[in-house]
Amino acid sequence: MGTKSSRSLYETLQNMDVRYVYLVVLLVVSLPILYPLGLPVGTISKETLGLYNYIDELPPRSVILLIADQSPAAAAECQPGMIANMYHIIAKGHRILFYASRTDAPPFIEDAMKQVLGRSSDHPDYGKLYVNLGFIPQTEVGLAGLAADVFFTTTDAYGNDLRSMEFFQDLPNKNARDWKLAIYYGASALDWVVRQVTDPYGCPTGGGVAAVLSSRVYPYYPHSVIGFLTGLRGSAEYEILVRRPGEAAAGMDAQSLGHLAIIIMIVLGNIGYYASRGKPRGGA
């Protein structure tokens, strides 16, 4: 009797209605966001520290290129990291050159500028410390053009003439040799940034990438890519480092429980699989 009931439990595990799985995922992701558990982020990874330390050690007024390649889908993971990076870069007195490589990325630059600086093109330091180039078409070709000549687009995202801006006046080469770091935010790939900026001009690459992309970044780390933020966890780590916990740190509870739920489901599914394999066939 006991064996029969345990076998029926295994069969139930094997053939469980998929809607229960959806319900579990919904609960474990949404409840911690509504009612935070306050789990600590944990040890800061070497990849995150690599980016943080590099920015920290740059001399003031260094030019850093921020490449926005995040779609709205990837922004949940990348945008908090970009904002945390900006807080750090601005606190260290560096200059930021923004550039969007996808058509739907410019609003994220605007959003980050407004969130961190309070304003965008009407900020008093716009044109001196910050310049937003907006969208440049043809991802890799666009970056190659910009790296070869910073006046590639002639105007910024708001139609202002780049040559008259104070930002560029003391740059000796007017190309990527003047940049100290290029940070890519997105979910597609950052190979092209390494190809067009790091290899020919010696400007290292950093990243704030979606977790799904991280495996493609490791081949370049730590030589070409000096550090990068891996998904929401990386963004949360950077928020902790700059002492500005925000959306990413708040999302860590949901990510923790989500990962745990998926692992438990995989284990249960395998228990059901092995138990049902041992069931005698035929009989009726």
| Site map 173..192 versus another protein, x via CB under 8 A | ------------------x-
Q: Cβ–Cβ contacts within 10 Å for residue 177, how many?
A: 13
Does 29 sit near another protein (CB under 8 A)? Answer: yes
Q: How far apart are CB 72 and another protein at their closest, in Å?
A: 4
Structure tokens at 167: 């930002």
Residue type, 126: Y
Tell which one of 75, 90, 205, 208 touches another protein (CB under 8 A): 75
Cα distances (Å, whole numbers) of residue 278 to 3, 5, 15, 270, 275: 12, 15, 16, 13, 5
Q: Cβ–Cβ contacts within 10 Å for residue 162, how many?
A: 18
Tell which one of 18, 35, 60, 282 touches another protein (CB under 8 A): 18
Does 141 sit near another protein (CB under 8 A)? Answer: yes
* Sheet bearing 225-230, strands edge to edge: 130-135, 95-100, 63-69, 179-186, 205-209, 225-230
| DSSP-derived secondary structure letter, 126 | B
Nearer to another protein, 61 or 274 (CB): 274
Q: How far apart are CB 221 and another protein at their closest, in Å?
A: 8
Residues in 100-119 at the binding interface with another protein, rule: CB under 8 A: 104, 106-107, 110
Say if CB 65 and CB 97 are below 8 A apart. yes
CA angle in degrees (0–180, nearest 5) for 169-85-32 = 160
Nearer to another protein, 90 or 258 (CB): 258
Contact residues for another protein, defined by CB under 8 A: 16, 18, 21-22, 24-26, 29, 39-43, 45-46, 71-76, 104, 106-107, 110, 121, 132, 134, 136-138, 141-142, 144-145, 148-149, 152, 157-159, 191, 200, 211, 214-216, 218-219, 221, 230-231, 233, 252, 255-263, 265-266, 268-270, 273
